[in-house]
Structure 1
Amino acid sequence: MHTESNTMKAVIKPTPHPQKDWEKGLILTEVPIPQITDPREVKIEILASAICGTDVGIYNSKQSLKDEMLSNTTPYVIIGHEFAGKIVDAGDIARKHLAGLLIVKSYEDKTLSDFIGKRNTDELAGDPDLIKFLNENFVVSAEMHITCGKCYQCRIGQKHVCQNTKIKGIHEDGAFTKYVKVPAENIVLFRNGELPVEIIAFMDAIGNAVHTAQSVNLMGQTVAILGCGVQGLMATAIAKMSGASKIFVTDASKPGTSATHEKIVEKRFSIAKKFGADFCFDVAIPEEREKFIKTVKAETNGTGVDIVFEMSGNYKAYQDAFEVIRMGGTISLLGLPEGDVNIDFSKNVIFKGITIHGIIGRKVFETWEIMRSILKSGLAEKILEAGFITHQLPLEKFEEGFNAIKNGDGLKVILKP
């Protein structure tokens, strides 16, 4: 007689200890399948998840992430915060929230409208077929920054900078597994076929680039995008679709490593140009960096660019940002540098009249709805056609995916349980 297993495979990271080395790597193991214990929670079956730069940092036991995860009270955490899935269970309060989301969406969907009829939220929440209907008709993702809803920032509509944020996949169990639990209010619904599952699986990452783009008006502006990884490439595509007039992209090769000049040109710069970059430069090569600065000056009549998006977190990129930004321009910072960065504020910020934005996460849920619109208007097809998703692997082969990113062969890597 076959019995249903009460465990699932998951990729975990042991919680660090303040006085001990945090061993590099991740562990594939069996963990208990989560059950709904909070009436506000939704249980989701994962269809696909995606490896993020933060996951790579956890894999490599990066100090800043060790510091962040020291407060975790469990012996390990399931990592991963980018995913697409199907709802399989929900608590009583969660059912009411989901019913409300469906009612709001019913005006644009006859199948949904027919299912709801004239029922109100409570009546719909009590329908025993509600979860089945959701499972059959919708793919979901979620905002994995879990906010408190009570602090000053949450109460004035700035949940993305909540004082008490907990991040799934860092502080609480995440998505590199079969099932994940998320508060219902963090759920984002997508009608079947609205967007490809593989795209929904990393909308969290696309959202960082969209939020960066949201910080400025891109129409008709010249833009330098520093860092040509996942975030830089997404920012390039969004800047182009948002009406940027000229886009300059940089990245930095590392001789003797996987990130060689040839590999960057072949993989990253070729996709950047498909996404709308006008010029690409490998600024690790002195002649290329000089060419980058000269080209920006030549293409902007000596003025400099209107906007810089710093997506790399590299110290030298900050120097480049201040070198090419025009007086009165705007610099938006998403990349995470380690430690301190020396900046001459008088020379580079105050006397130049620069505006600087620090970007964290996604605006909830403004960024998600902008993403939905941009992706449906052609960006999703561009991402797929450009070969941006380089690997789709079973969860058990997660090491292969992390190695692909490490050796420069992987951009977006999808894992499927």
Structure 2
Amino acid sequence: TDGWVYWSNDNGILFEPFPQDATLPPLTGSIAVAFDPEYSDNNTIYAASDTADGGIYRFIIGSSTSWESIDSTLPEGGMIGQITVSAEGMLYATNFKANGGMERSLNPTYSLGPTFETVTRGLDDGATLGGLWLSDNQLWSIDTTNSRVMSYTDRLTQPVTLTSPQDKAQGIGTIINHVVSNVSLDWEAAEGATKYQWQLDYDTDFATVPTGFEASTEASQTRLPALEPATTYYWRVRVTEPVLSPSSSKWSFTTSLGSEAIAPELYSPEAGASGIELKPIFQWSAIAGADSYELLVATDVSFTNPSIARVNTYALDTTAWQCDLTLNYNTTYYWKVRTCSSDSYSAWSVVSAFTTKPSPPVSIKPTQPPPAPPPASIKPTQPPPAPPPAQPTTPDWTIYLMGLIGFIVILLLIT
């Protein structure tokens, strides 16, 4: 009471004020207090004053040195009678000034300042709300002017569900006159929603959304303006009427390369270069959104019979590749590259040409005369051995005579 807020961390034995060094009441009037559902982690307490323009405040134990006013849109003269916070962290506070309605914030812990909105839909003229009770997403209060119990069901506490394009989808849209057209965003219709806000950006920050990249719609889909080819975009959606919903998750998609997309620029070998090694390094520029690159190398400019065809499953995933085949000497080769995505191709690059180095000269070694034979060595000749001494020979007639004498002797003996 009287602008003071006290707390105890010993089960009520001792109490001390917030801030602890305060010598004067930091707030005014009777104070309603609520704890953030994540208090055990973020140490955040909320307070509201019932004096005119007293406002709603936040204090973080351990870091705050004073109460911070967080509802900059509270209607003039507003007097907060009761404050409560849901299990999901939504803050509600009744304003018992006539026609004051109820204050609602989806992000009361947001460090740069929460967003508040005033809910008066369904209230009679001159209604004054006293008291506030919460169960799940159902709230009750008493209209003391008209003696009624008022009920409010907050169906927009959950973010919008995105459906299409799927998160991280590739090759979205159709290339027409060098821009991407026919891209639509779709999401599920939220119960009770009457208007949505969609946003598109080049990054996930959404701090400075480009012109034409956000708008409101009553439908659960929208057609996007012309986009750039081979570019990644991020998008999100939220309900804006009758009250705000949390922003959806942030999805991304990448637009189509298309046949009109900018083709890679060839770097190396340079056009018209000569004396190129037989296993050159091919290099070209990168294209945003490319999954791979196809390379053709041929000896004819029509590429009817390419010497190298890194296409389809053999496409390259980098912008530089060293040839793994040995090219022919002193031969002119033509080459080109194109970009591939999951469902489209860019145009082929301009055709470049180079000539490989000449074949090395054949070296002819001088013939060597056969080695001279070694000089003949002349050994002194030995005289042939002396023949054996001649044996005396018997004349042939002697042999016949002796045979005849023997024959006569035999005859004489017989007779």
More helix by percentage: 1
More strand by percentage: 2
Q: Per chain length, whose mean CA-contact separation is higher, i.e. which structure has more relative contact order (CA < 8 Å, sep 6+)? A: 1
> What TM-score does the superposition give when structure 2 sets the normalisation length?
0.21
> What TM-score does the superposition give when structure 1 sets the normalisation length?
0.21
